[in-house]
């Protein structure tokens, strides 16, 4: 039995555009060298296409299952060889994206040529599934492209190295006036005194680069760990955190299992970890998203509908979904009590009370906003009036808790 592992490297044309053909050739050389070092004695490697390598893997068994397992393991090892560390390109470290295709003969084919094509077909299919990704054909924007590539590989590294940190913004119960919870908001710290990068700049990119699953799991786990420490302080047992969940995360059918496992391991109850889902995540009504949301609710996570009023999801769908809180967007709250948004804030309160869902007003910046929410029976409020998002230690100090 013989196998082929075809490795297709994505978006390398951008390296050409941003750094020139010499840098690309150097990178391909380096990739080839890495792969070569990872080969076993009887294996061999060739460049089959522009950005594609093929490894020939002889298998010492005729037992199909064993052969498949071996080829799969070899494919994973070769992928790891080129992804576990970045490559030096023009003085910077670049992470490459790779798709691997595996084929074996028999039964895939006896002809080596055809075997290679089969394996490549698979990698092509992988690459085509992501046609949304930006293509840079315009040579006039080179410096911008270069910046973008650097930014992307930095974000990739930040996620791999868990560089992102969470800040926390208090959520106030308007009935008692107490701080009852905190929303976790991601920040990307930068070196030498530069301001951290805000989520509006890196969350969409993380979604585009396929990093959101990993990033989201880190955020969730970090928030659970912080909650666990805070709940240990006297009188804090009912304190909760809210964690934002991006649409891309809801396309993972196992998200509820993953989150449940993390909460269990950390030792917090799902009841104290609210998940914020933006209205826009529901706009297309994807079945998989609806399933994920139902599964999260069934696992015991309270759900908040975020940025409510800014999307276009049908009311019918919202009525059927298991949300516990609606968070009314700050663009409306900021227009209270006299602006156009005030009517929206008031009518959403009516809607939520009909649905037996709590209403939360976002972006409360002064006492007038707060009074308007209170007068309209809003249960919760959040905004700069109480506090801006703070590092965990500052949040504890601000709350009068011991820092840990």
- The reply on whether position 250 binds ligand C2E by CB under 6 A is no
The reply to whether omega before 65 is within 30° of 0 (cis) is: no
- Interface with ligand C2E by CB under 6 A: which range of 104-112, 123-131, 230-238, 240-248? 240-248
DSSP 99-152: EEEEEEETTS-S-HHHHHHHHHHHHHHHHHTTTTS-----GGGHHHHHHHHHHH
CB 24 within 8 A of CB 15: yes
- The reply on whether position 244 binds Ca ion by CB under 5 A is yes
**Helix and strand element counts for the chain (H, E):** 14, 15
Cα distance between residue 338 and residue 358, in whole Å: 23
Give least dist CB 297 to Ca ion, A: 17
- Interface with Ca ion by CB under 5 A: which range of 95-103, 283-291, 311-319, 354-362? 354-362
Give least dist CB 307 to Ca ion, A: 4
Q: Which residues from 84-143 bind ligand C2E, rule CB under 6 A?
A: none
Angle between helices 212-231 and 199-208 (to 10 degrees): 130
Binding to ligand C2E by CB under 6 A, coded x per residue (else -) over 279-308, reads ---------------------------xx-
CB 219 within 8 A of CB 162: no
Q: Which residues from 59-78 bind Ca ion, rule CB under 5 A?
A: none
Binding to ligand C2E by CB under 6 A, coded x per residue (else -) over 32-71, reads ----------------------------------------
Q: Which of 383, 390, 392, 395 binds ligand C2E (CB under 6 A)?
A: 383
Nearest one of 188, 250, 177, 186 to 219, comparing CA atoms: 186
- The reply on whether position 270 binds ligand C2E by CB under 6 A is no
Give least dist CB 140 to ligand C2E, A: 32
Q: Which residues, other chains included, contact 316 with Cβ-Cβ below 8 Å and sequence gap of 6+? A: none
Neighbours of 248 (CB within 10 A): 19
| Chain-centre distance for alpha carbon 52 | 28
- The reply on whether position 307 binds Ca ion by CB under 5 A is yes
Binding to ligand C2E by CB under 6 A, coded x per residue (else -) over 349-368, reads --------------xxx---
DSSP H/E element including 4: strand 2-10
- The reply on whether position 221 binds Ca ion by CB under 5 A is no
Give least dist CB 391 to ligand C2E, A: 13
- The reply on whether position 276 binds Ca ion by CB under 5 A is yes
Cα angle 182, 230, 279 (rounded to 5 degrees) comes to: 25
Identity of the residue, 244 or 249, whose beta carbon is nearer to Ca ion in the bound complex: 244
Instruction: Name the residues that contact ligand C2E, by CB under 6 A.
Output: 169, 185-186, 198-200, 203, 219, 244-246, 276, 306-307, 330, 363-365, 383-384, 389
Instruction: Name the residues that contact Ca ion, by CB under 5 A.
Output: 244, 276, 306-307, 362
């Amino acid at each position: 039995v013989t196998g082929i592992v075809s490795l297709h490297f994505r978006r390398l044309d951008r390296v050409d555009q941003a750094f020139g053909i010499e840098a690309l050739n150097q990178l391909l050389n380096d990739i080839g060298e890495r792969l070569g070092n990872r080969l076993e004695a009887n294996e061999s490697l060739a460049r089959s296409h522009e950005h594609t390598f093929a490894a020939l893997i002889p298998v010492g068994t005729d037992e199909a299952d064993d052969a498949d397992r071996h080829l799969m393991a070899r494919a994973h090892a070769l992928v790891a060889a080129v992804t576990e560390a970045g490559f030096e390109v023009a003085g910077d470290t670049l992470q490459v994206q790779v798709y691997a295709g595996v084929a074996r003969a028999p039964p895939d084919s006896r002809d080596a040529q055809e075997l290679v094509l089969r394996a490549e077909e698979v990698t092509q299919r992988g690459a085509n599934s992501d046609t949304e990704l930006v293509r840079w054909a315009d040579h006039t924007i080179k410096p911008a492209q270069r910046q973008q590539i650097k930014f992307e590989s930095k974000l990739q590294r930040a996620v791999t190295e868990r560089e992102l940190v969470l800040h926390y913004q208090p959520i106030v119960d308007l009935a008692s006036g107490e701080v009852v919870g905190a929303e976790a908001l991601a920040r990307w710290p930068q070196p030498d005194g530069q301001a951290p990068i805000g989520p509006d700049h890196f969350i969409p990119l993380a979604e585009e680069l396929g990093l959101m699953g990993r990033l989201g799991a880190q955020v969730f786990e970090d928030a659970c760990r912080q909650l666990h420490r805070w709940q240990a302080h006297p009188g804090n047992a009912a304190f909760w955190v809210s964690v934002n969940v991006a649409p891309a995360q809801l396309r993972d059918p196992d998200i509820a299992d993953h989150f449940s496992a993390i909460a269990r391991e950390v030792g917090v109850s799902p009841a104290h970890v609210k998940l914020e889902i933006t209205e826009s995540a529901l706009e297309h009504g994807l079945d998989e998203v609806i399933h994920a949301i139902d599964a999260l609710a069934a696992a015991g996570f309270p759900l908040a509908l975020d940025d409510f009023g800014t999307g276009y999801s049908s009311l019918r769908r919202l009525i059927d979904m298991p949300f516990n809180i609606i968070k009314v967007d700050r663009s409306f709250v900021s227009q209270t009590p006299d602006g156009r948004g005030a009517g929206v804030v008031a009518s959403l309160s009516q809607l939520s009370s009909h649905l037996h869902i709590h209403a939360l007003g976002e972006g409360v910046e002064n006492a007038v906003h707060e009074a308007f929410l209170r007068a309209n029976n809003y249960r919760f409020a959040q905004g700069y009036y109480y506090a801006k998002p703070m590092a965990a230690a500052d949040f504890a100090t601000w709350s009068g808790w011991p820092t840990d």
